[in-house]
């Protein structure tokens, strides 16, 4: 039986703790947060829902070595549900304490900083796996599943969106995670693999329509972070690997206004004698406004793989639609993100991943991951059909 330490007792950390309590048979789950009240509230909720007493609350300052070391020294695996920019600063403490580590990632540049700890992690005999959330994370496992079920893979297109069940104009969106992470996805460059080459492409661009049977006509557009390191790992294995975010129609155009008119600038400007970064103001105002929207959520994921199987061109498609859990109250975003990082944490606890810093897509197969999701009652729709136009990908 293993001890798991979760850093961050917010929405995703609490859901991860619940999944561990249900599926990991843990000796202990240490749920740590800078706010002791938050940690106690979340641990109490987990113990009540899972009918256990394995989850315990601890206060921690994750950036203070004397605060975090005692927690890490008693843990076998660390799940970091901290803001993405903190991961490279905290992961070295986990390595020093001999803990396996997985995190929710969210920014590929930061992920590379974590992966640069490879030599130290390998020397300590631990596994460090970033980007184990939803996107990046779960959606990339769907991509791996597609590749594993094709003899040859030409193209993988991935899509994901967390959406309100009862959308309200003008944005038709409900904030389900940190607004800084949302703006990062919309503002930074997207990394894709196209015709065998790594490319940077603009975000909030390349708009396309998708037909989602349960939702109707939706839109999808480029955002950053969703592919994470996969284009680098899969170069030479697939020609094209891309990710887009799904939203209700019109959302992309409205958000593009903020980007085009400088609301996400990070350099400080002077306003009435005060120096302020427009992005900080936007995150505060927009985040608070979106945070007031109360609605149940739903998550839609689609993966499309084009390639060959049994000597013929085929198109494989994987669809997932998950809605907020009425029994536990966990949102779909919490549920899918929490179980995703929990699945990887349990994989690490079993010593099933390579030692050192391991790219997400090299730590666990997509087939293994999908099997674990299905154990949790998360179901997929798998379809296969002949690829009637394979010539289009040869130019």
pLDDT of residue 394: 43
- Cα–Cα distance for residue pair 376/365, rounded to 1 Å: 18
- Class of the CATH domain delimited by 138-323+365-393: alpha beta
CA angle 123, 124, 126 (to 5 degrees): 110
> Quick one: how many helices (H) and strands (E) in the chain?
14, 18
The parts of the chain modelled with pLDDT lower than 50 are 392-395
Strands across the sheet containing 127-129: 55-59, 28-33, 3-7, 77-80, 100-103, 127-129, 356-357
pLDDT of residue 198: 96
pLDDT of residue 387: 78
Domain segments of the chain: what residues?
Answer: 3-129, 138-323+365-393
Contact 126, 114 (CB under 8 A): no
Q: Print burial letters for 203-223: b (CB count within 10 Å at least 16), e (below 16).
A: bbeeeeebebeebeebbbbbb
Residue 311 Cα to chain centre, angstroms? 34
- Class of the CATH domain delimited by 3-129: alpha beta
pTM assigned to the model: 0.92
Residue 120 Cα to chain centre, angstroms? 25
pLDDT of residue 392: 47
pLDDT of residue 395: 37
Nearest to 300 by CA among 165, 137, 146, 145: 165
Nearest to 67 by CA among 27, 39, 106, 104: 39
pLDDT of residue 391: 52
pLDDT of residue 376: 94
Q: Which residues contact 202 (CB under 8 A, 6 or more apart)?
A: 189, 190, 222
| Residue 47 three-state SS | helix
pLDDT of residue 154: 97
| Tens of pLDDT, residues 26-40 | 999 999 999 999 999
CA angle 211, 322, 373 (to 5 degrees): 120
pLDDT of residue 390: 66
Which runs of consecutive H residues, i.e. helices, occur in 97-250? 108-115, 118-124, 138-148, 179-187, 230-234
């Amino acid at each position: 039986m293993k001890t798991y330490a979760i850093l961050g007792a917010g929405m995703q950390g609490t859901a991860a703790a619940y999944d561990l309590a249900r599926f990991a048979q843990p000796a202990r789950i240490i749920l740590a947060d800078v706010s002791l009240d938050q940690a106690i509230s979340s641990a109490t909720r987990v113990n009540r829902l899972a009918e256990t007493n394995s989850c315990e609350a601890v206060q921690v300052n994750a950036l203070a070595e004397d605060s975090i070391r005692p927690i890490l020294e008693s843990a076998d695996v660390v799940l970091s549900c901290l803001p993405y920019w903190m991961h490279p600063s905290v992961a070295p403490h986990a390595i020093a304490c001999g803990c396996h580590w997985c995190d929710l990632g969210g920014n590929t540049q930061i992920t590379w900083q974590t992966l640069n700890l490879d030599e130290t992690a390998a020397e300590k005999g631990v596994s460090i796996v970033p980007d184990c959330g939803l996107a990046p994370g779960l959606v990339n496992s769907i991509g791996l599943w597609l590749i594993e079920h094709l003899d040859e893979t030409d193209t993988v297109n991935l899509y994901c969106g967390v959406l309100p069940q009862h959308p309200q104009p003008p944005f038709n969106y409900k904030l389900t995670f940190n607004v800084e992470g949302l703006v990062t996805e919309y503002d930074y460059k997207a990394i894709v693999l196209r015709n065998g080459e790594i490319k940077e492409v603009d975000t909030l661009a390349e708009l396309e329509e998708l037909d989602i049977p349960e939702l109707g006509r939706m839109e999808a557009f480029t955002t950053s972070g969703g592919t994470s390191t996969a284009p680098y790992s899969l170069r030479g294995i697939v020609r094209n690997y891309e990710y887009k975010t799904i939203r209700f129609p019109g959302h992309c155009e409205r958000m593009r206004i903020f980007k085009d008119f400088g609301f996400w600038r990070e350099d400080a400007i002077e306003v009435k004698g005060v120096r302020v970064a427009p992005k900080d103001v936007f995150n505060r105002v927009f985040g608070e406004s979106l945070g007031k929207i109360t609605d149940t959520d739903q998550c839609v994921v689609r993966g499309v793989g084009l390639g060959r199987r049994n000597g013929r061109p085929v198109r494989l498609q994987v669809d997932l639609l998950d809605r907020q859990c009425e029994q536990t109250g966990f949102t779909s975003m919490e549920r899918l993100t929490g179980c995703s990082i929990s699945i990887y944490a349990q994989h690490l606890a079993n010593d099933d991943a390579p030692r050192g810093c391991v790219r997400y897509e090299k730590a666990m197969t997509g087939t293994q991951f999908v099997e674990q999701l299905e154990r949790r009652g998360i179901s997929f729709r798998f379809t296969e059909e002949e690829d009637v136009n394979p010539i289009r990908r040869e130019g």
